A and B are shown apart, each in its own frame.
Chain A
Amino acid sequence: MNPTLYRDFAQDFFTLHQCKIIEESSHHFKVKLTSDIDEEIMNRPFYWHYMKKMNRSGDPATLSFHLSQSENHEGIYLHAGTPKLHTLYRTAMKKGKMTRLYEATDVPNHHEALTPWFAINVLLHYRGKQTRNEHLALGLNLINGSIIPSFTESIWSESFKATVTDYTFPMTPIINLRSAYKRIEGYIESYVSRKTHEWAQQSIEQLKEEVTLLKSFYESGDMEEEQYQKEYDQLKERYEPRIIMEVINGGLFYLSGQTNAKLFKQLG
């Protein structure tokens, strides 16, 4: 992956959380953390516990990141595996898990109705003999039930606020969230079933082969039943194909008529 992607992400993370970038060049940047972010990502709970107890403000750390590897500079080399970067991912995902947002339209269009959508981003983990995963970003219209793929990307450049603006009002959803979630699950099931699954086929064959071997060994009397059961369970864990659905984040979004129309146009 392009190394500037990591840099962009890290810098956006820090600026979004009010940490000041105090030095910057094409190959490095330096950032002064806030107390909150220091506590969140620097893994020094005792220090902060002590500071709070003593009623002191504490001294948040300064981090410098480099885009290339060299012994000459102190600081963190930023690449796909940088542990600190992974801490940032985790923190970002924790802090951005759930939301409710109203689109902020700049045209004062009196009493415009905002349409409620349930946005949900999931990772599908395909697990069997081998693994991979797949992203799905779905949006479900809570008035008419239609589902749109790549929802989050489609509304990426619109602006949203936590409170509804004076000129607009949110419509009450007709479909409640729990049944919306059920529909999403159903959608994912049918999405998955429309694809071919060589990986699952291979996993099943491998599982069969190894179970047969284990069984014949067990039946020949060289193995206790308890041991057999344990080995059998381990084989299933190792090969049995399954898809694990993990929700990254989700939100209730109220969209303006204009954005709504754009989405449906996309849907065709």
Chain B
Amino acid sequence: MFDIHPDSTFIHTFSDRLEKSENLCTWEQFKLAYRASQFQSISDFDGLLALEHLPHVTFMPHQVEAAKTAIHEMNGRAILADEVGLGKTLEAGLILKEYMIRGMAKKILILTPASLVNQWVQELDQKFHIQAASPRKKHAAWKDWDITVTSIDMAKRENHRETILSIPYDLIIIDEAHKLKNHQTRNYQFVQSLKKTYCLLLTATPIQNKLSDLFNLVSILKPGYLGHLTDFKKKYRGSQNTEHIHSLVGRVMIRNRRQDTGLNHSSRVVAHERLNFTDEEQQWYEKLQTFKENSHAFTWLTLAKEFCSSREACFMSLKEIAKKTTEENKAIITEMIKQLEQLPHHAKAMRMVELIKEKPEKFIVFTEYRATQFYLQWFLQQHGISSVPFSGKFNKSKRDWMKQLFKNQAQVMIATEAGAEGINLQFCHNMINYDLPWNPMRLEQRIGRIHRFGQERDVHIYNFAINNTIEEHIMSMLYEKIDVFRHAVGDLDHILEKIPGGSFENQVQSILEEAESAGEVNIKMKNLVSYVEHTVNERKESS
């Protein structure tokens, strides 16, 4: 029924040592070695030994359950697809630790987006007592390192590729695996050619657009499990058969939703702050309308959006436009710039300082514009409030450094949108959305930086918008109406992406560009919202 693999080296070394009478131990040492080995006994096939090894980490029941299922029922090949912020990384770490304790995994490769490499290395060390290496520019000892964390891009480089493909890994973990949804990409093919015994795919969005995304993910774990792609597509083109596919996929995928996990002890307090421009500011905003009337709708939209953020952001664009436009227009723009410079400090900036002064706690402020980021930093400094900037464009070490500064010294972090992925700031409990993105899911990602697994306090979210501007529409439509649906269905992003005639964001943009009056904007926005509402309801009924 099975083979017994003998220990082939012991007896030779033993005979040798006896003959030479060297390296022989005392009775006490012999007994101590025996005792040490008893600490490593594993008496049961089932269960998680790792829990006893990690008393300093509190795992949630759904995480423990996920690890058990992945190991004992799915036999080590699984998609971990919990919603954002439920701790997929902890689940993966727990599984990894268990495999190491049980001696089933020694050689391990973890592939993550480059921006998350350091975070993985740190978490493995601090939470799991696992020492992982990650390659630097020149130095990469793939064969010597037992546990390696790196990006797919690094791994598939010409000088590394062959070495990595030749190593039989015991366990491969792929973070943000939804990026592998297309089987024709080189990344997908690279992952498929890796030698692996166990394999975990981590993603919060296992289906981004099509069911075939899921097919391709499952094929990495179990080729043939869902049949061929062509048959699969034929079979599931209509949606009648989805029940069958869900039951099949359920045997390789674990998906916990926030509402199932009881992870609500930290709640969100969202405040929509509607602010007013000063009269001077409002007048200037009205003047901008002339751009729209002169059939520069797109320019107008950009400028209006920027002006709602800061004079500085708008100033940069105006200067650019002045360079390219006709003499006549140039005069108008120069005049506008002059007036712009006379305006008082921005209404939002004043409110921000007020809020921060009221509450001596840490704040993260999100803006869409770099110019605004600079302005706010300067403005806070004028009020004696320390702040650090943050952007996804910073390199790894700068990002880590800024995060560290924010944690230990500065009261405020001012981040641009690009910074929303991949930093965790659970030590911060307040967020100001200084500018609102036009896609509610992007806001969700921002909030996920602080309201995530491990957050023990309530988080306060302040959304800023200025009355009588485009921001008012965005606020009332997106954040007050659509947000209500968010709780009804888990994957609103999915719906928003699939609106006919372009994504939700594009729709909003064209409404704002094309509508001739505030009334028209309102009507069109309402239509859009009711379309979303309709889809949501349809979805609810069918499921």
Q: How large is the interface on B (under 10, 10 to 19, 20 to 34, 35 or more residues)?
A: 35 or more
**B-chain residues with CB within 8 Å of residue A200 when the two chains form the complex:** 1-2
B223 with A231: CB separation less than 8 A: yes
A81 with B53: CB separation less than 8 A: yes
- Cβ of B104 within 8 Å of any chain A Cβ, yes or no, is yes
A176–B331 CA distance with the chains assembled, in angstroms:
106
Interface locus among A30-38, A51-59, A107-115, A235-243: A235-243
With contact pairs A92-B29, A234-B196 given, residues A100 and B24 touching in the complex (Cβ less than 8 Å): yes
Contact among A137, A160, A204, A246 for B27, CB-based, below 8 A: A160
**A-chain residues with CB within 8 Å of residue B17 when the two chains form the complex:** 98
Return 27 A-B CB contacts under 8 Å, by A number.
A6-B39, A9-B36, A77-B56, A79-B52, A92-B33, A93-B37, A98-B17, A99-B25, A99-B27, A99-B29, A101-B30, A125-B103, A129-B75, A130-B46, A133-B41, A135-B37, A177-B15, A181-B10, A181-B11, A210-B222, A213-B225, A216-B224, A222-B224, A237-B168, A242-B4, A248-B34, A248-B37
**A-chain residues with CB within 8 Å of residue B18 when the two chains form the complex:** 98, 100, 177, 252
A162 with B42: CB separation less than 8 A: no
Contact among B5, B41, B168 for A135, CB-based, below 8 A: B41
A242 with B2: CB separation less than 8 A: yes
A205–B56 CA distance with the chains assembled, in angstroms:
39
A238 with B75: CB separation less than 8 A: yes
Number of A-B contacts defined by CB within 8 Å: 210
A123–B103 CA distance with the chains assembled, in angstroms:
12
**Contact residues, A204-231 vs B (CB, 8 A):** 204, 206, 210, 213-214, 216-218, 220, 222-223, 227, 230-231
Q: Mark A248-267, 1 if CB is under 8 A from B, else 0.
A: 11111000000000000000
A106 to chain B, nearest CB (A): 15
Contact among A13, A98, A199 for B14, CB-based, below 8 A: A98
B223 with A81: CB separation less than 8 A: no
Nearest B-chain residue to A176, judged by Cβ: B15
A89 with B36: CB separation less than 8 A: yes
Q: Summarize A's interface: helix, strand, loop or mixed.
A: mixed
Interface locus among A20-28, A139-147, A164-172, A185-193: A185-193
Interface pairs A-B: 9 shortest CB-CB? A81-B53, A217-B224, A96-B33, A96-B29, A247-B10, A130-B45, A241-B2, A89-B36, A160-B27
- Cβ of A127 within 8 Å of any chain B Cβ, yes or no, is yes
A189–B3 CA distance with the chains assembled, in angstroms:
10
A243 with B2: CB separation less than 8 A: yes
- Cβ of B7 within 8 Å of any chain A Cβ, yes or no, is yes
Nearest B-chain residue to A247, judged by Cβ: B10
B15 with A81: CB separation less than 8 A: no
**B-chain residues with CB within 8 Å of residue A204 when the two chains form the complex:** 1
A93–B15 CA distance with the chains assembled, in angstroms:
18
- Cβ of B198 within 8 Å of any chain A Cβ, yes or no, is yes
**A-chain residues with CB within 8 Å of residue B38 when the two chains form the complex:** 135
- Cβ of A41 within 8 Å of any chain B Cβ, yes or no, is no
B1 with A201: CB separation less than 8 A: yes
A82–B52 CA distance with the chains assembled, in angstroms:
10
A45 to chain B, nearest CB (A): 15
- Cβ of B44 within 8 Å of any chain A Cβ, yes or no, is yes
